[in-house]
Amino acid sequence: MRKSYFITGTSTGVGKTRVASGILAGVSRLGFSTVGFKPVAAGCERTIDGLQNDDAQMLLSQTSLPLSYEQINPIALEPAIAPHIAAKELGQRLSADRLAGFYRGLMTNNPDFCVVEGAGGWRVPINNQENFSDFAKLIKLPVILVVGIDLGCINHAILTAEAIRKDNLVLAGWVANQIVPVMNRYKENISTLQHWISSPMIAELAYNQNASPDETADQLDIKSLL
């Protein structure tokens, strides 16, 4: 088996890393080799090993192959701002081709299963001409959409699902991740999303800021992704 998915979200902070690391944990339990990949991470902290990002470290912790941090997160940016702004301030240039090259290099390690985590949402710019979606189109992976369940999520989710399909990519499924402790009309929001998004809901995650990858894996339909 050799499978890869691109994980995007309706915005930043909606739980992409929670879902990505949970998927990796669940797939690893089944005996498959795994790799998590976050090509660009902003908001990195200085460590004795260089700039590192918490989300990328989480993906590395669920990567079963013996890879370095730099292979998981080749572009680490310190400012906690939009990636294209951070890169410009640091004199770096991001491009879809460059990110695709990093992905192809990573895949020479022949993992059974890989998740690629984007930054922010589907149309987050990487330069003045390209978005993260242009990178996703180059590597042509099926997409998993993480919907942060909060006020406004219906519009954000429907628009993102439409954009993914207009980019001629497969929306393999979506995850409802409650990102606030209390959500008014929660069930009605979920029902509305299920009506408007034709792809299957592969998980419904309750609010839990401290969920471990294994706890999240327990709530995901892992076998549907294999």
Q: Report the alpha-carbon distance of residue 60 to residue 58 in Å, rounded.
A: 5
The yes-or-no answer on residue 38 being catalytic is: yes
User: Are the C-beta atoms of 98 and 134 separated by less than 8 Å?
Assistant: no
Sequence-separated (6 or more) residues with CB below 8 Å from residue 224 = 173, 200, 202
Residue from 38, 88, 137, 187 carrying the catalytic annotation:
38
8 A C-beta contact, residue 197 and residue 163: no
Token pair belonging to 112? 């059974």
Q: How far is CA 108 from CA 50, 78, 114, in A?
A: 24, 28, 12
What one-letter code names the amino acid at 213? P
Contact between 116 and 135 under an 8 Å Cβ cutoff? The reply is no
Tell me the two tokens of residue 74: 């080749």
Pair type for strands 171-178 and 201-205? parallel
Active site residues: 38
